[in-house]
Amino acid sequence: MTLSTSEKYLLGKGHVIFFRDKLFFLKKRYEAIHQECLNRGFSVINRWPESVSVYHNLWNDYQVTEEDISVNMARIKERMPIKARFSPYFDRKINE
């Protein structure tokens, strides 16, 4: 059973419903972002709701596609200010 109304990754209207049955993917992504924040010296708290573990039918993974990445890159380009604020990580890749 799938709860998603869209078979395809999307941003904007419908993205929450798309990811609703992909909690395994979201948990992995959340942990990666949380760790990256810690690596960069941010003070962050793990707020993943462990209570969602009982919904076994929602714990599906998702494989990111090249098309998904293109959609995200277009959105970043659309919303990124022309002159971004200073960051010591500006020229570094996330996994460096």
> What are the pLDDT digits (tens) for 49-88?
889 889 899 999 999 999 989 988 888 888 877 776 666 6
- What distance in Å separates the CA atoms of residue 33 and residue 27, rounded to the nearest whole number? 10
Q: Which domain range does residue 42 map to?
A: 15-46+53-79
* Global model pTM greater than 0.85: no
Confidence of residue 28 (pLDDT cuts 50, 70, 90): very high
92 falls within a domain: no
93 falls within a domain: no
Please report, rounded to a whole number, the percentage of residues in the chain having pLDDT higher than 90: 39
- What distance in Å separates the CA atoms of residue 3 and residue 36, rounded to the nearest whole number? 30
How many domains does the chain contain in total?
A: 1
85 falls within a domain: no
Q: Provide Rg for the chain, Cα atoms.
A: 16
> CB of 84 within 8 A of CB of 90?
yes
28 falls within a domain: yes
